Structure 1
Amino acid sequence: MKRLLIPLVSAGLSAAIVATPASAQPHWATDNLTPKPADAYGAAAFWLDANGAALRKATQYTSVDSQDVPKLVSSQSKGAPDGKPGMTGPTTTAKATTSKNVNLPKTIGKVFFLDGGGHYRWCSATSIQSRNRNLVATAGHCVFENGKDDVYDKWVFVPGYYQGKAPWGVYVGAYAYTAYDLDTYDDYDGDYAFVAVHNGFSLAGEKDVTRREYKEWVGDKWLRPREITHEEFVKCQLNLGECWSQGQGEPSLVGPDHPDAVLEKVEVAKGTYDAARTGRGQGFKFGEPVVEQLTKTQWEAYKGPGAKGTGPDKLGNYTVVHYYTQRWVKPDSGRRYFEAHWVVGVAKDMGRLGDVVGGQGFSWNQPLNQPVTAFGYPRDLHPNGDRQFTGVTPKWCAGKTGTKTYQVNTFKVETHQVLKCSMTGGADGGPWLLKYNNGKRTGYVNGVTSMFHDNDENGRIDYISSAVFDGETADVYNKANYQATKSIVSPKGELLQ
């Protein structure tokens, strides 16, 4: 891969500096995504909440405008390797689904993230073999924000994604690796990325717990009131803070020892709560503050006495904290009675990505004109406005790559490999698998879809292109290959610290 040269700004620079070879620069660049378990849990919960609503809301992300696809120009190069060819073998798991006469691998799926404008986006990707069974291969522009020297937010991989479902869990990106030239110069000859992901997890429902367990729980949790009878309420009053009454109008205030007294809670401002005493009596504190989780719209519209947070918390929730004091009243016929139920959301650790869905092999410095099978989730229109794909299910193309490499001047590309294929944007990041075995559903990742081209100018995509995987790509892969990650939920389903 070539290096872009930065012009010298002073003629007085020493000859030694001028003579320093560009190869002294590293071949790879790395950035953190969400390495901390709490942040990773929040990113996954963001996408899984409300039965995958955010996943379904996401739209395809692509490197090019479908109405203005770039032209390919032959470089007349046969893609001479920069070292010896190499391969790392795949790992396999159980059989996956079938599309016509091609067995779709379990390893492929979508990556989801928030782009620089806060839009919900997705690209295509695959699990790839690695030392720690935790690596995802995709396009660099699906991880690193062009021209921003930064990575996208809430980045996750969902293998086998289908209509908001994550059948094998959600895997949150921890550490991203890409070519130095892409990260530094937006040079699409290095448009690939390898992302080390945490163990996958899924949301496994909820359960009632004691107040103490609720207080100690570090995952999702909430207070859910349950209506009870007056008789149940009388028994419950012995446990201050676990039950209360509600009603319309202003009842007669009485003391806590009045034979007909019932306990009500009254929401107050934080300052009033903080100034109140602890114990039994009018105006005393009523239990612990209660955190309510809201949607962003609900949170923005909230006008009550509770204390609003400044934005989403570490789990991605918008919250209001409610504070209550006691009020002892003589009940009337309009009173209703409630008991607190302390509820926690339980997550399930799915294990390492490669153990769950397997991982494709990896190859570099292979000759051009090789048969490959490319997979992805295309969604964009063709340049002529035709919508051929939905982005819901994965598609594929098979054939030999071109005999020569191609240039795309607008993206600083000098040596892309090409494949005749009509997949459109959304297939970005999908793997090009060399030596694909239809029975085992495995091959060797020898490229990832980077760009789309209408080379005969008939208004339809007819070629896709990828960076050539060479020795520098192998260097980037090797760096990612040794990156360790971890589980983000405990065996009992709560967030690990």
Structure 2
Amino acid sequence: MKRLLIPLAAASLSAAALTLPANAAPSWVTDPLAPKPSEAYSNAYFWLDANGAALRKATQYHWDAKQISKIVATGAKAPDDGKPGMTAPTSAPAASKSGNVNLPKTIGKVFFLDHAGNYRWCSATSIQSRHRNLVATAGHCVYENGKDVFSKWVFVPGYYQGRAPWGVFAGAYAFTTYDLDTYDDYDGDFAFVAVHNGFTLPGEKQVTKREFQEWAGDKWIKPREIDAKDFAKCVLNLGECWSEGEDKPADLVGPEYPGAVLEKVEVDDKAYQDAKTGRGQGFKFGEPVTENVTKDQSDAYKGLGKKGTDAVGNYTITHYYTQKWVKPGTSRKYYMAEYIIGIAKDMGPLGDAVGGQGVAWNQPMGQKVTAFGYPGDPHPDGDKPYTGVTPKWCSGKTGTKTYQVNTFKVETHQVLKCSMTGGADGGPWLLKYDNNKRTGYVNGVTSMFHDQDGNGRVDFISSAYFDGETADVYNKANYAETGKIVGPNGEMLK
């Protein structure tokens, strides 16, 4: 799966731009997620099916509490890696407000299956790109242990409790650093993912068998129960119909028979009295039931009950019941096939649906950022203040020096004082965040969580420092082309 060359825009990078010096290690790699529309449709449908049941089943990509370590200051300032750079954000439609921070419409969750088949999610954001189709998240939310990519990877902006308000965007290609991909080096723990157009599944439609056979999207056969007369017509007209079971009357058995059920049977007055005294068949079933009726109803009644009048002259019918134990009978059931197709709706490119944040690199440290994410893990001491259902944020200045975490080969992480826990990983750190426009510049994504004072609570989060290598990876991802996966009629494109 590694080192896949993807289609780039015709006016994108020249051959010279893709040429590396002799013996130079590449700074970026790309891997396929689901390049073909059919694969992307399958991945998105996996999460949308049954009203988003799989989305609700997913849990945050867990960090083991034992891996929440302290960070060690290196004493170094931001790496000297070229001139600072930025790409401006794109505008987005109005988003909801929460507290004193307006939530950006670009944030959401990425969903995927890990190697054990567990349903997982991380945080992420839409970012500005040439084709309005890029997602930024943590590298470990795309690559498992820095190796192969996760399966069924999708982005759901604005996710909330199993709902995908702007559709599901299936990943097509993933881009990350060579060091993360090759050495699991968390100094490069970020990824940019090019996604196909989003789509939703708003409904279904019954069609003819021929339309069903020609349909390229989701489809299924729904059995509809019919009676014997309609079944005979269906067979005569060579329709797709079938029957199940057989007609079999109930058998009289004793109460000790396995599966026997008790039934009540209406009888006349004499049979009831015989059962009451132990003569005849069966035993009485409760006391007689008397109902008041009109004279016309009494005159018309031909049943087993006893007609009469009460003390004040009202007409009555008294019913008598005995009981019997039976082995239940069965009846043949008849079915006809209904051909159903799922109607998908194209939601357009990601950037058109929710906008995209800007991207910044080689920026001075010690600047204010606002970090967003969906924290869900408990703290190391077991306290669980977050549910992972709604996005949270932290705001403050990043550290003025870089930090290292030896167990993850980290040497130059930037840090932010913040108590968000696992599940927030992959969420954006937005520099120059405009609370009115709800836009800023992604200058990091949450990579790791730290308990710096040792009290069993996360108090710092860290991110890879976005440097010239980040700009290089972003530049390559910026040219990845994707498109629709469903047509104007809801059909799956090939």
**Is 2:247–2:332's contact at 8 Å kept on the other side of the alignment?**
no
Q: Paired residue for 1:495?
A: 492
Cα shift at 1:203: 1.1
**Which stretch of structure 1 is more off in the superposition, 217-226 or 450-459?**
217-226
| C-alpha RMSD over aligned residues | 1.9
Whether contact under 8 Å (2:240, 2:337) holds in the other structure is: yes
Structure 1 counterpart of 2:394: 397
Asked whether the 8 Å contact 2:187–2:412 carries over to 1, the reply is: yes
1:93 aligned residue: 92
Q: Which residue does 1:296 correspond to in 2?
A: none
AA in 2 matched with 1:139? A
Q: Is the 8 A contact 1:420 1:464 kept in 2?
A: yes
The answer for the alignment partner of 2:226 in structure 1 is 228
Structure 1 counterpart of 2:358, one-letter code? G
* Counterpart Cα distance in 2 of 1:31 and 1:127: 19
Counterpart in the other structure of 2:101: 102
> For residues 492 and 40 of structure 2, what CA distance do their matches in structure 1 show?
10
Q: For residues 23-58 of structure 1, what are the alpha-carbon distances to aligned partners after superposition, in whole Å with 9 as ceiling and x for unaligned?
A: 811110111011111111111111111211111111
Cα pair distance change 1:118/1:234, threshold 3 Å = closer
Runs of 4+ in 1 over 2 A off after TM superposition: 20-23, 225-239, 241-247, 333-340
- Cα deviation digits, residues 246-268 of structure 1 (max 9, x gap): 55159xxxxxxxxxxxxxxxxxx
Q: 1:230 to 1:21 in 2, by over 3 A?
A: closer
Q: How does 1:452-467 map to 2 (within 5 A)?
A: 452-467=449-464
CA drift of 1:226 comes to: 2.2
Q: Compute the displacement of 1:223 (Å).
A: 1.5
> CA offsets, 1:107-162, max 9 Å, x none?
00000101111111110000000000100000000001115x21000000000011
Q: 1:73 to 1:246 in 2, by over 3 A?
A: closer
Tell whether the 8 Å contact from 2:79 to 2:467 is kept in structure 1 after alignment: no
**Displacement after TM superposition at 1:22 (Å):** 9.8
Compared with structure 1, are the counterparts of its residues 123 and 335 closer, same or farther at alpha carbon in structure 2 (3 Å cutoff)?
closer
2:175–2:192 Cα contact (<8 Å) kept: yes
In 2, Cα distance between equivalents of 1:228 and 1:120: 40
Q: Deviations over 1:48-89 (max 9, x none)?
A: 112111111111114x42244121110101113311111101
Q: What is the correspondence of 1:180-259 to structure 2 with a 5 Å cutoff?
A: 180-246=178-244, 248-249=246-247
SS, match of residue 150 in structure 1: coil
For the residue of structure 1 that corresponds to 2:394, the secondary structure is strand
Task: Describe the SS at the equivalent of 1:111.
Answer: strand
CA contact (8 A) 2:167 2:200 kept: yes
* Residue aligning to 1:303: none
State yes or no: 1:446 paired with 2:452: no
Shift of 1:491: 1.1
In 1, Cα distance between equivalents of 2:456 and 2:335: 65
State the distance in 2 between where 1:187 and 1:447 align: 16
1:386 pairs with one of 383, 389, 407: 383
Match of 1:33 in 2: 33
Which residue is 1:42 aligned to?
42
Specify the alignment match of 1:480 in structure 2: 477
1:235 offset after TM fit, Å?
4.5
| Alpha-carbon offset, residue 242 of structure 1 | 3.3
Checking the alignment, whether the CA contact within 8 Å between 2:447 and 2:462 is kept in structure 1 is yes
> 1:70 corresponds to which residue?
69
Give the SS at the match of 2:205: strand
Distance in 2 of aligned mates of 1:403 and 1:338: 72
* 8 A contact 1:144–1:183 mirrored in 2: yes
- CA drift of 1:336 comes to 4.7
Q: Is the contact made by 1:73 and 1:407 (CA closer than 8 Å) also made in structure 2? A: yes
Is 1:345 the equivalent of 2:339?
no
- The equivalent of 1:425 in structure 2 is 422
Question: Residue type matched to 2:107 in 1?
Answer: I
Secondary structure at 1:24 match in 2: coil
Aligned residues of 1:81 and 1:366 also touching (Cα < 8 A): no
- Give the equivalent residue in structure 2 for 1:51: 51
Is 1:83 aligned with 2:82? Answer: yes
Partner residue of 1:143? 142
The alignment status of 1:152 with 2:150, answered yes or no, reads yes
The total of aligned residue pairs comes to 394
CA gap of 1:490–1:110, structure 2 versus 1, over 3 A, is same
Structure 1: distance between partners of 2:237 and 2:219:
21
**Alpha-carbon deviation of 1:382?**
0.8
CA contact (8 A) 1:427 1:449 kept: yes
- Tell me the alpha carbon deviations over residues 311-362 of structure 1, each in whole angstroms, 9 at most, x when there is no partner: xxxxxxxxxxxxxxxxxxxxxx955543321111111111100000000000
Amino acid at match of 2:58: A
User: Aligned AA for 2:415?
Assistant: V
1:161 is aligned, of 159, 162, 167, to: 159
Deviations 1:402-438 (A, max 9, x none): 0100011111111000000000010000000000000
The verdict on how the C-alpha distance between 1:354 and 1:244 changes in structure 2, with shifts beyond 3 A counting, is same
**One-letter amino acid matched to 1:91:** T
Query: 1:220 deviation in Å?
Result: 1.9
Residue 467 to residue 125, structure 1, CA distance change in 2 (3 Å): same
Relative to structure 1, is the Cα distance of residues 239 and 477 closer, same or farther in structure 2, using a 3 angstrom cutoff? same
**Which runs of 5 or more residues in structure 1 are unaligned?**
1-19, 251-332
Q: How many angstroms apart in 2 are the aligned matches of 1:384 and 1:67? A: 11
Quote the Cα distance in structure 2 between the aligned partners of 1:185 and 1:235: 68
State the partner residue of 1:370.
367
CA distance, structure 2, for counterparts of residue 434 and residue 22 of structure 1: 37
Q: Which residue in 2 is equivalent to 1:470?
A: 467
Partner of 1:130: 129
Asked if 2 retains the 8 angstrom alpha-carbon contact of 1:68 and 1:383, the reply is no
2: CA distance, partners of 1:334 / 1:116: 47
The two structures have a TM-score, normalised by structure 2, of 0.77
- Aligned 1:170-189 pairs, distance under 5 A: 170-189=168-187
* 1:152-207 deviation per Cα after TM superposition (whole angstroms, max 9, x unaligned): 00000000011111111000111000011100111100000000001101112211
* TM-score, normalization by structure 1: 0.76
The structure-2 alpha-carbon separation of the partners of 1:98 and 1:228, relative to structure 1 and needing over 3 Å to count, comes to: same
Residue 83 of structure 1 aligns to a residue whose secondary structure is coil
SS of 2:65's partner is coil
Secondary structure of the 2:389 match is coil
Whether the 8 Å CA contact 1:43–1:156 is kept in 2: the answer is yes
CA contact (8 A) 1:406 1:418 kept: yes
